[in-house]
Amino acid sequence: MSEKKNLNIGLVGYGFMGRTHSNAYCKVNNFFDLEYRPQLKAICGRGEENAKAFAAQWGYESVETDWKALVERDDIDAIDICTPNNTHAEIAIAAAKAGKMILCEKPLSMNLAEGEEMVKAVEEAGVANTIWYNYRRVPAVSLAKKLIDEKRLGKIFHYRANFLQDWTISSNLPQGGAALWRLDVNAAGSGVTGDLLAHCIDTAIWLNGSITDVSAMTETFIKERMHNLTGKVEKVGIDDACTFMCHFSNGSLGLFESTRYARGHKALYTFEINGEHASIKWDLHDLHRLEYFDHRDDSLVRGWRSVHVTDGDMPYMDKWWVPGLQIGYEHTFVHQVADFLDGLAKGTPTSPTFREALETQRVCDAVLNSAQSKQWVNV
Ligand code: SOE
């Protein structure tokens, strides 16, 4: 391929997601043949020492401590937002106004109203945009999409998803601050609904179409925690657990559960889809496998089969090793960058765009409203 075009990245936030995204920018051109090559131009974080250390470790050329300065820089093409949820809207809207492309970590926003402003900003500016719902790009999940689109399951009756963790069970765990902002409602917007169920909802809408109405319940098991920023014991405003049922517009029924109080589970994201002819099951702890049952099989050998999604004809897998050798979590981010760069070359949007992610935000808002009102809520 001829010489590559540079795409200068300015990344805001150097936490867990800053690492996954940086790793993806570093790897993508080694494995995918693309017209564009990301350049790690600048890392931005409020802590200068930490930002410098991150720049040195990952190879960023420069450091900023104020995202507003980053957004105004002429040598930056794309802003990548890896900061807590309460900063997404302000940074994204300013970046769009400055004509930058935007790659924003999930969820889109704190709530629907904010998300709508973000969609308006990127669409008015006409800038490329995407939200990092990375699990769509697990090859086994992309395979599920292919099988559903080929109508192999027939009419779909049920969609079931769980995202279970156990890291907040201790009442001694504080809320707020760099590592624990997900427990602070003012930084996160919500608890498991926006953090974990948002993943499940994004995948569900992608695989099974839109959700029309929801009935939800939430619980906050630990009502007060010490706040790292104020040093005081403060009310906990997030949902620790959320369960909801819903209807999809294709007539199927949905059941979703997420909690950070499922002792023994660290990141157990699973879904199962039951159709008229076939069913599919997937489990993040075994992410390279897709379980498939097809009732049309010869009855003597009919049963659940576990497809090891590694052959070169599987989604994305021709870019990696050889059949039988699997890839993991970090590769989902590489795939998202690859798709984004490919979209830039072709002039096509990369899913989920801000507008597509707004749909997930709309469902999250409906879920939280339903839990509060104890009523069914239309999406
Ligand atoms: C929370 O623990 C978390 O890191 C989420 O924020 C991520 O989106 C999810 O993929 C894994 O869990």
User: Do residue 248 and residue 335 come from a single domain?
Assistant: yes
Q: Which residue range is the domain that position 88 belongs to?
A: 5-134
Residue 166, amino acid: D
252 by DSSP, 3-state: which? Answer: coil
Distance 161 CA to ligand 1 centre (A): 15
110 by DSSP, 3-state: which? Answer: coil
CB-based contacts of 172: which residues, under 8 Å, 6+ apart?
Answer: none
Kindly list the strands in the beta sheet with 253-259, ordered across the sheet, starting from the edge strand earlier in the chain: 305-308, 289-294, 278-283, 268-275, 156-164, 253-259, 241-248, 211-219, 377-378
End position of a domain, from candidates 87, 105, 134? 134
Closest C-alpha residue for ligand 1 atom 1: 195
End position of a domain, from candidates 99, 134, 169? 134
Element of type H or E holding 23: helix 16-31
User: Do residue 315 and residue 244 come from a single domain?
Assistant: yes
The structural domain count of the chain equals 2
CA 249 from chain centre, in angstroms, equals 23
End position of a domain, from candidates 101, 134, 167? 134
Pocket of ligand 1, candidates 196, 259, 269, 332: which has the most ligand atoms within 8 Å of its Cβ, to mutate? 196
CATH code, 69: 3.40.50.720
> pLDDT digit of tens for each residue in the chain (379 aa)?
568 999 999 999 999 999 999 999 999 999 999 999 999 999 999 999 999 999 999 999 999 999 999 999 999 999 999 999 999 999 999 999 999 999 999 999 999 999 999 999 999 999 999 999 999 999 999 999 999 999 999 999 999 999 999 999 999 999 999 889 999 999 999 999 999 999 999 999 999 999 999 999 999 999 999 999 999 999 999 999 999 999 999 999 999 999 999 999 999 999 999 999 999 999 999 999 999 999 999 999 999 999 999 999 999 999 999 999 999 999 999 999 999 999 999 999 999 999 999 999 999 999 999 999 999 999 9
- The answer to whether 84 touches 110, Cβ cutoff 8 Å, is no
Distance 254 CA to ligand 1 centre (A): 22
**Which atom of ligand 1 approaches the CA of 167 most closely?**
2
Distance 196 CA to ligand 1 centre (A): 6
Residue 211, amino acid: I
**Which atom of ligand 1 approaches the CA of 16 most closely?**
4
CB-based contacts of 344: which residues, under 8 Å, 6+ apart?
Answer: 7, 35, 36, 101, 128
Distance 247 CA to ligand 1 centre (A): 26
User: Do residue 292 and residue 358 come from a single domain?
Assistant: yes
Distance 71 CA to ligand 1 centre (A): 26
Distance 182 CA to ligand 1 centre (A): 9
Closest C-alpha residue for ligand 1 atom 6: 195
Closest C-alpha residue for ligand 1 atom 11: 267
